[in-house]
Amino acid sequence: MIGVINDKCDFCGTCVAVCPFDAIDLYEARIAINQRCTDCMLCVWICPVETLALIDEQGKMTPRAAAEFTA
């Protein structure tokens, strides 16, 4: 599952544009991952400011930006 750090997000839509599954919804000042997400990681890798990260089954974040995850 992909987690979002909304505090860091600039709502630029880059993650939406690279998502092959249409699994990210961008609102005015909020992004949300929907159930079409396959954890493919493309959005995590493209985000210029490390807003997105993978959460594993134990609820832990992968190394990238793990320390700042609050949501």
- Interface positions with another protein (CB under 8 A): 10, 12-14, 16-20, 22, 26-28, 41-42, 44-50
Our CB check for another protein shows the closer of 10 and 56 to be 10
Our CB check for another protein shows the closer of 50 and 61 to be 50
**To the nearest whole angstrom, how small is the minimum distance from the Cβ of residue 60 to another protein?**
19
**To the nearest whole angstrom, how small is the minimum distance from the Cβ of residue 38 to another protein?**
14
**To the nearest whole angstrom, how small is the minimum distance from the Cβ of residue 56 to another protein?**
18
Handedness of CA 35, 39, 58, 6 (dihedral sign): negative
**What 3 state SS string does the chain have?**
CEEECCCCCCCCCHHHHHCCCCCEEEECCEEEECCCCCCCCHHHHHCCCCCEEEECCCCCECCCCHHHCCC
